[in-house]
A = this chain, B = another copy of it.
């Protein structure tokens, strides 16, 4: 039985009824899976993990205006609430919490979370204010739901590193659980934005993951020079602005926004790859921005 709730007050009342006990009663332990909706198999894996470990599973769906740099990106972000509810029900969630923007932000916030140097690189560099918006809304949902555990996908590695730091720096009594990236059969990381891709664009999209794997192979082969690894991996991405897809008559605009090697916790660049690192990239395919990353242990 999935309950759909839209207000913070109703959520708190309901949670007090179904999950009233202290965390030590594991059967009543409360999970939060925060999402922006347009749910796919990657989200399903988060819900499954939460279901296995907690007595009460809350999935939140909120397309957070504070984390969008572009009004156009916000407007075209897919919204599929009924299908999302069906997926939540299939995977055994107890509560689908989908508040309105007015409910979450009755007025523009004055207090926000400054995430410091964790946003200096990768997506943070190209999306100013994005992670301030992410950290702020996640802190808000943590307070609304008060979960014992919260589930995030490895695909959004910088977000995950920031949430971990948020929890540590602010002493939040929450376990952050990382769930591995779910991929299509050709390696493309599942993403709500994949549905924007045309067939031609879709055929080019896995090149980002191929580049990350190229970097992994070089590191495992003993290469330690971060710059050399990055440049060789980036060369795996179609270099021309207009990439001609074999078998298709149209061309596809492809542009690598970044491909970086960073420390998994601090998200600072690593030049000498002598310890575990995250290799992360962002690729524009047409007007769609895709991100992906892998953890590599040399």
Chain A residues near B (Cβ < 8 Å)? 8, 12, 16, 20, 22, 24, 109-118, 132, 135-136, 139-140, 143-144, 146, 162, 165-166, 169-173
List residues of chain B with CB within 8 A of the CB of A22: 16, 20
User: How many copies are assembled?
Assistant: 2
With A24-B16, A170-B140 known as contacts, the answer to whether A118 contacts B110 (CB < 8 A) is yes
Of the residues B16, B114, B139, B173, contact of A112 by C-beta under 8 Å? B114
The reply to whether A165 and B110 contact each other, CB–CB distance below 8 Å, is yes
- A56 and B162 CA atoms in complex are apart in Å by 34
Report the minimum CB–CB distance from A12 to chain B (whole Å): 7
CB distance from A220 to the nearest CB of B (A): 30
Besides the known contacts A110-B115, A111-B162, A146-B173, 6 further A-B residue pairs in the complex with CB atoms under 8 A apart: A8-B171, A16-B22, A109-B116, A111-B169, A112-B169, A143-B171
Given known contacts A110-B116, A166-B111, A173 and B12 CB-to-CB distance under 8 angstroms: yes
Inter-chain CA distance A115–B166, complex, in Å, is 16
Q: Is the Cβ of A113 less than 8 Å from the Cβ of B114? A: yes
- Name the B residues within 8 Å of A12 (CB-CB): 173
In the complex with contacts A110-B118, A114-B114, A139-B24 CB distance below 8 A? no
Contacts of A136 in B (CB 8 A): 169-170
Are A143 and B169 touching (Cβ within 8 A)? Answer: no
